[in-house]
Amino acid sequence: MLPEWFNSWNRDNPAKNLFGPAVLVGVAGGAVLVAALLVAFGQPLATKSMQTGPRGTGMVVSKFVTDIETADPTIADYYTEAPYVPEEGAELAKDIYENVQVLGEVTTDNFNRLMLAMTQWVAPEQGCGYCHAGADEGNYAADDAYTKVVARRMIQMTQNINEYWAGHVNANAEVGVTCYTCHRGQNVPSEIWFKIDPVNEAMSGWSANQNRVTVQSQYTSLPSDALEAYLLNGEQIGVHNLEAHVAESPADEGVRTWQQTERTFSLMNYVANSLGVNCTFCHNTRAFYDGAQVTPQWSTETLGIQMVLELNNDYLVPLASEYPENRLGPVHGDAPKAACKTCHKGYQQPMQGMNVISDWPELATTGAPVYE
């Protein structure tokens, strides 16, 4: 690596060997170069921490800066358009079009504007024909396509979320939800779920619910029926007694079993992965079970769990009879259901906190839209 004259000089002058000093100079020079590069371009593995609880308790969520500053790739494809402020006497959709069961009080201009947006949000490739089977012949009134029946109910669900669950979706600022929050340009949203238990039919008892890696258990050996238990059946979330050798029986009312505890761990693991956070986002991990030491995010998440319960039971599950077989669950033939990740997609806030409802007052309320 070194020039021949340098090697020859060192062989002829062993008492004056320059290899050692040369190595030291090289190392020092390299260190200076690395330091200069870090100053000029920044630390590639730098992190930022978000304080979630009282200082000194270690309640922080740390992430690489590159992850924080990398935009959700689906944001770029979000279609939006400012509303048309209605003029007095403007024609309403219910007076012009047939079979308008929702959005009838919206002006025709804003009705068509919203229909165009829904097409971009849900079926950008298929176009109007995805929900309107007779679109090519100009027939938009018929309910021949199941997708139209489902879309109508999904509009009502979206309005309900924005109006009655603002404590969750607008906890930090006005954000709201639209069809795109879940669909992201796809006919069927990602991160929907179906019932899959039992997952191990070769064994009976509790092993039939866990010890097999599934999507619902987030690829762990934790129970696979946590979403079903807590986000569909509304079972109470809880863990076993914190004291040892307690004189109680699982048959007693209110007693938490180890199975319920593991199911709770499964749900909490799912929630953390859905939001891209860790336990300290909601809890003081030195006192998981002390409700006085939770963070504000805990109440927001608690509302979210109650919201998803309502969405699944009041809106999504009842649509099972409308879906074709290929849209139903592979094991139980159940309707697709929602959970935290259906909206969040791994981010603390869906679409990284973008205000998606500001241009869509028609979806912000179950009543007449308010235009500013």
- pLDDT attached to residue 286: 83
Under 8 Å between Cβ of 341 and 273 = yes
The whole-angstrom separation of Cα 258 and Cα 260 is: 5
| Cα–Cα distances in angstroms (integers) from residue 153 to residues 26, 83, 118, 128, 350, in the given order | 70, 22, 13, 17, 22
pLDDT at 150: 98
The amino acid present at 340, given as its one-letter code, is C
pLDDT tens across the length of the chain (372 residues): 667 776 776 677 765 555 566 677 777 778 877 777 666 666 666 766 767 776 666 677 776 666 666 789 999 999 999 999 999 989 999 999 999 999 999 999 999 999 999 999 999 999 999 999 998 898 999 999 999 999 999 999 999 999 999 999 999 889 999 999 999 999 999 999 999 988 887 777 778 788 888 888 999 989 999 999 999 999 999 888 777 788 888 788 878 888 899 999 999 999 999 999 989 889 988 888 888 888 889 999 999 999 999 999 999 999 999 999 999 999 999 999 999 999 999 999 999 999 999 999 999 999 889 887
CA pair distance 180, 169, nearest whole angstrom: 14
Burial of 222 (0-12, 13-18, 19+ CB in 10 A): buried
DSSP code of residue 134: B
**Would the pTM of this model clear 0.85, i.e. be above it?**
no
Q: Report how far residue 298's alpha carbon sits from residue 96's, in angstroms, rounded to the nearest whole number.
A: 47
**Cβ(232)–Cβ(317) under 8 Å?**
yes
Domains of the chain, each with CATH number or no CATH: 78-186+352-372 (1.10.468.10)
What are the CA-CA distances from residue 110 to residues 155, 174, 212, 331, 361 (Å)?
15, 21, 49, 42, 10
Burial annotation 238-267 (CB, 10 A radius, 16+ → b, else e): ebbeeeeeeeeeeeeeeebbebbebbbbbb
Conformation bin of residue 50: beta by default, left when phi > 0, alpha when psi is -120 to 50: beta
The reported pLDDT for the residue numbered 292 is 86
List, as one string, the DSSP characters of 140-175: -S---SHHHHHHHHHHHHHHHHHHH-HHHHTSSS--
